[in-house]
A and B are shown apart, each in its own frame.
Chain A
Amino acid sequence: MDCRETQTLLTAFHDGELPAADRARVEEHLRGCPECGALPADLARADQTAGVPDPGPAYWDRFNARVMDRVEREADGPRVAVLRPKHGWMRQQLRYLVPAAAAAALVVVVVRYGGMNPGVPTPTVPPAVSERAAPVLPNERFATVTREERDRLADRSLPAGNEEASRDRAAAPAAISVPSPPPLMTFRGAPAGSPPVSAADGIPSGMQAEQKKMAGAAALMAEQQVAGKAKSASGMRIAKEPSPGSPCELARTLAAQERWREAEAAQRACLAQDRSAPAQEKGLVFLAELLDRQERFAEADAVITEVDRQFPQSRPLDLYRRQRPMVQKQPMAVPVTR
């Protein structure tokens, strides 16, 4: 056996997967060839580096409880009854109807406020339309806009990577509306005076442009989630004037209520929606804080590392780093990066 053949078989030899006869031949060659004889040690060294960073005992202590919490929530029944009916047939129908209703809502918004009839205010706004599609109790809405719920909405029994499921997931956030939270957070310079829009209100003067942006934002989110791409120019426009009830604003509101997990989900959606550099920089720092609040320090570290890489000498990150020890000691305190 020559060196070439030996090296071809070396991986299987190292892993104990070679038939006995081949194994003996490889061993014989290794004994007589100093160059090849050193290779098994290299393979062993590679294997020693193949570990996965362990999240630590605190993470594992909470792991089962978190799984069981999600399982219990599924078992306890739907918080969004209409979206998760007991009967299979209805559920099947809603799998298509809910995204369809969301798409219809977008069409309505775009047609009405996108130039076809721009001067006529109407009480039909996205939240109202989506409420018809998914009548959710007002106080339950925040809690329902979690990823798990969106997954349910899209019916995760579909195969992973199914295009249809992806479209459903992309449409779901647009279908589930949230009440307009007060603009509590000022971190990203969102305009504090954006008038909230409710189902009962008409469109205030000057809101038409924003309605277009809302439609644009929803379409962008859907596009991003389907295509996995983002256009920074669009993101920048949205970042300057977040819509009432946008994930960014929702994240800040939920954080103010110390609903960290839900705030985190909303903030992740916010980051997916707005890819502009300033929004990403501040948004990622805020996400790191939300993770710290949940004592998921390793994940927060990873996010901070990412901010460091993308935005060297980031001022928001620098500020947060100074406050981080306090945040980690008092995870339930008021957000500092909002």
Chain B
Amino acid sequence: MGADLGEEKDERLAALAAGGDRGAFGALVTRHRQAVYRLCWSATGNAADADDAAQETFVRVYRSLPSYDPARPFGPWLRKIAWNCGLSVRRDGIAGVPRVAEGDAPEAVDPAPGPEEAAAGNEERRRVAGAMAGLPAELRMVIVLRAVEGLSYAEIALAAGIPAGTVMSRLSRARTRLLAALGGCS
């Protein structure tokens, strides 16, 4: 059953989940959780809020499934919810914790690193992530959706609710700022 679900299209899984199939919903979560997390991280700029927003995204998705129209593509619908959740968490400041400062990037978790190893290994990653964290959320979003998720300008425009031309200009600014932050030419 799990294998079958894994091959189902998103829209079909969503329809099954809306009918109460928890397995279908779980398959959707598994399939999209990393992309959702990355988008939420783009909106919030830190791991803690990204986690909150990603969790909230799927809860909202579950709650909204009865109103979802399977004739429409699932991906853009999901991304819209994820982005809104990310912005909502950031705006609400529910966490009460000051946002991770620009430049202070959350560390990725290594399965079992020693302290020294983790510190050394994370240095470059921290620098790179710091450059990302230093971008405004709107620029992070487009660069993540393009460079990481591989979405087209049209898809990004749909998720962000902006014209395709704005997507292009934001991508250009994002890349320029990333290169500048990393000490490269622009």
Contact = CB atoms under 8 A, between A and B. Distances in A.
A306 B108 contact: no
Contact of B96 (A151, A272, A306): A272
B92 A52 contact: no
A306 B153 contact: no
A294 to B, nearest CB: 11
A77 B76 CA distance: 30
Interface string A213-235: 00000000000110010000000
B97 A287 contact: yes
Nearest to A64: B29
Nearest to A287: B97
A302 interface: yes
A50 B143 contact: yes
Interface in A269-327: 269-273, 280, 284, 287, 291, 296-299, 301-303, 305-306, 309-310
Interface in A159-173: 159-161, 166, 169
A125 B110 CA distance: 50
Interface in A131-152: 147-148, 151
Interface residues of B, number: 73
B131 A49 contact: yes
Contact of B168 (A11, A68, A267): A11
A302 B153 contact: no
B47 A53 contact: yes
A74 interface: yes
A333 to B, nearest CB: 20
Contacts of A298: 47, 106-109
B152 A17 contact: yes
Q: Determine which residue in A57, A70, A303 has the highest number of CB atoms from chain B within 10 A of its CB, and name it.
A: A303
A334 interface: no
Given A51-B128, A68-B22, A299 B106 contact: yes
Nearest to B52: A147
Contact of A268 (B97, B168, B182, B186): B97
Nearest to B33: A63
Nearest to B125: A53
Given A42-B179, A299-B106, A271 B97 contact: yes
Contacts of B46: 302
B175 A53 contact: no
Interface of A: 10-12, 15, 17, 42-43, 45-60, 63-64, 66-68, 70-71, 74, 147-148, 151, 156-157, 159-161, 166, 169, 224-225, 228, 267-273, 280, 284, 287, 291, 296-299, 301-303, 305-306, 309-310
Interface of B: 22, 25-26, 29-30, 33-34, 37-38, 41-42, 46-48, 50-52, 54-56, 58-60, 62-63, 84-85, 87-88, 91-98, 100-101, 104-111, 125, 128-129, 131-132, 143-144, 146-148, 152-153, 164, 168-169, 171-172, 174-176, 178-179, 182, 184-186
